[in-house]
Amino acid sequence: MLLLDVVETSAAVAATRSRKAKAAAIADLLARCGRDEVELVAAYVGGALRQRRTGVGWRGIGTLPAPAAAPSLTVVEVDAAFEALAALAGTGSQAARREAVARLFGAATASEQAWLRAVVTGAVRQGALDAVVQEAVAAAAGVPLAAVRRAAMLAGSTTAVVATAFDGGEEALAAVGLEVGRPVLPMLASSATSVAEALVRVGATPAAPAAVDTKLDGIRVQVHRDGDDVLVVTRSLDDITARLPEVVAAVRALPARRLVLDGEVLALDDAGRPRPFQETASRTAMGEGVVVTPFFFDVLHLDGRDLLDAPGAERAAELEALVPARHRVQRLVTADAAEADVFVAGVLAAGHEGVVVKDLAAPYAAGRRGAAWVKVKPVHTLDLVVLGVEWGSGRREGWLSNIHLGARDPDRPGAPDEFVMLGKTFKGMTDEILAWQTERFLGLETAREGHVVRVAPVQVVEIAFDGVQRSSRYPGGVALRFARVLRYRDDKAASEADTLATVQAFLA
């Protein structure tokens, strides 16, 4: 199959607002593929490469060779080119890399070049499309959508189960299970405004109490151990094993040889209080000697036994027997709101974010934001998408500084994929953040208007704010008071950002 077929289908998918039409276009494309191409094409049409890292950044594709006049590149050739680039990435051979990039882009037509540039910089919108690709795979392979979804969550991605769906059908999809060493999508939490409400939502009663977990503001980690091999991945399943030797050591010290754990890593100060998130997140800080500690709150596999479908109470008992208290998240089991409130006060006083209330009868729902886990945070933050950024002045001359913040607006009739601007902020940015965002946003640039650089709406930023007020300045009719940057969220797709409705709810 030609890359152009994928590019044209991607354009058709972007041009229609109808989810049905999008899925039909992708299903048609998949039906036209060879069996050895379906996996690749499903990844490409979803805006992703098969290679997690290619070593090609926006700098490498700043100036491109002239486009080819006629299309000739096949998807298999493109994949081979990225595979070769990924292999070069570690070797530091700049010239070889430049040459390989020039060869690939030189063989691409103008529209193919634009598409390649967008996937390489991550500027193609992902996430929202993933669900549509799953629908398309189900339709083209003639299997139930639910079977595709379940297998994708356990295999860590839709792409990973496409060939299974086409070759083995429903039965093969049903046989996809948890595998030690292959990350599963993590279970997510819904949210409530009080612990009492959360306890009701998970159905806690004195006979069937719920778990009230300390909510740590660190980095989500999923750990796989197979003998001496340990793999540590983030919420978005990126491999961060090499950055977390402390976690590897702690896991190797556990008595089980094969296991999968879910938890959070956190940097602590000498008094055992959590340090600011930036220090947990920053690779440099870790290099400079900040020690991070893993805290686990779930176990999904233990020495040959899959625990995904076991009730929370059983998983908790296994976790307690396996992991020493110093590496476990603190938990209270109760159905009593007053008792839970006292626990929450202690958690907040210790410098943590809040709690996650969990239904102890529920299984581990990989990849889903179910009702079984409910988070309660007294301090609210929003995950917004950067729509544009302005060149700084004075001390910030030469840096991209003031960012334009947008919320998703899936309810807007006629334009469900649009983002609505809520305001701007240049507060809360460290020099490190300024340097990082200048490079990042130049790579996402789509247009320039005076001192404003417009960017593809893909980068999620977590924003703290003091309140929401009505405002006619922006199209959403609301503006944020004292918005400030807490951190960039590379583990979240724009499709997971907060919605205008969520922001408007703060008006009350």
Ligand X SMILES: Nc1ncnc2c1ncn2[C@@H]1O[C@H](COP(=O)(O)OP(=O)(O)OP(=O)(O)O)[C@@H](O)[C@H]1O
Question: 119 vs 233, which CB is nearer to ligand X?
Answer: 233
Nearer to ligand X, 40 or 313 (CB): 313
Determine contact, residues 436/51, Cβ cutoff 8 Å: no
x/- contact string, 382-401, with ligand X (CB under 6 A)?
A: -x------------------
Question: At its nearest, how many Å lie between ligand X and the CB of residue 31?
Answer: 34
Task: Round to whole Å and give the CA distance between 282 and 398.
Answer: 23
In sequence order, what DSSP letters do the residues of 239-274 get, joined into one string?
Answer: B-GGG-HHHHHHHHTSS-SEEEEEEEEEEB-TTSPB
Binding mask 167-206 toward ligand X (x if CB under 6 A, else -) reads ---------------------xx-----------------
Q: Quick one: which of 153, 302, 227 has its CA closest to 310?
A: 302
Of 215, 358, 375, 492, the active-site residue reads 215
- Cβ 355 to ligand X, closest distance in Å? 8
Q: Report d(CA 322, CA 254) in Å as an integer.
A: 7
- Contact between 465 and ligand X by CB under 6 A: the answer reads no
| Contacting range for ligand X; rule: CB under 6 A; set: 132-140, 151-159, 211-219, 226-234 | 211-219
Residue of 379, 367, 409 lying closest to 504 (CA atoms): 409
In angstroms, what is the minimal distance from the CB of 505 to ligand X?
Answer: 15
Q: State the nearest-atom distance from the C-beta of 284 to ligand X, in Å.
A: 22
Q: How far is the CB of 459 from ligand X (least distance, A)?
A: 15
Nearest to 99 by CA among 60, 155, 136: 60
- Rounded to a whole number of angstroms, the minimum distance from the CB of residue 418 to ligand X is 21
CB 167 within 8 A of CB 137: no
Is 20 considered catalytic here?
no
Residues binding ligand X: number (CB under 6 A): 14
Of 406 and 443, the one with the shorter C-beta distance to ligand X is 406
What is the C-alpha R_g of the chain? Answer: 23
Q: Which window, 150-158, 215-223, 267-275, 428-436, contacts ligand X (CB under 6 A)?
A: 215-223
Measured distance CA(115)–CA(362) in Å, rounded: 43
Q: Which is closer to ligand X, CB of 3 or CB of 216?
A: 216
Q: Which of 216, 223, 405, 486 binds ligand X (CB under 6 A)?
A: 216
Is residue 215 near ligand X by the rule CB under 6 A?
A: yes
Find the binder of ligand X among 37, 112, 264, 390 (CB under 6 A). Answer: 264
Q: How far is the CB of 371 from ligand X (least distance, A)?
A: 13
Q: Is 372 exposed, middle or buried (0-12, 13-18, 19+ CB in 10 A)?
A: buried
What does the alpha-carbon distance between residue 32 and residue 21 come to, in Å, rounded to a whole number? 17
Report 469-508 residues binding ligand X (CB under 6 A).
none
Applying CB under 6 A, which of residues 149, 375, 404, 440 lies at the interface with ligand X?
A: 375
Closer to ligand X by Cβ: residue 370 or 416:
370
Strands across the sheet containing 229-233: 229-233, 219-226, 258-267, 292-302, 305-306
Instruction: Dump the DSSP string for 341-394.
Output: HHHHHHHHHTT--EEEEE-TT----TT-EEEEEEEE-SS-EEEEEEEEEEEB-G
Q: Are 475 and 418 in contact (CB under 8 A)?
A: no
Tell me the C-alpha distance between 158 and 138, whole Å: 11
Among 78, 329, 422, 453, binds ligand X (CB under 6 A): 329
User: C-alpha angle with apex 263: 188 to 488, nearest 5 degrees?
Assistant: 65
Name the residue type at position 57.
Answer: G
Nearer to ligand X, 66 or 349 (CB): 349
Exposure of 429 in the CB half-sphere (CA atoms within 13 A): 22
Q: Which is nearer to ligand X, 235 or 257 (CB)?
A: 235
Residue entry with tokens 């007020």:
469
Judged by CB under 6 A, does residue 297 bind ligand X? yes
Closest CB to ligand X among 294 and 443? 294
Residues with a catalytic annotation lie at: 215
Q: Which residues bind ligand X (CB under 6 A)?
A: 188-189, 213-216, 220, 235, 264, 297, 329, 356, 375, 383
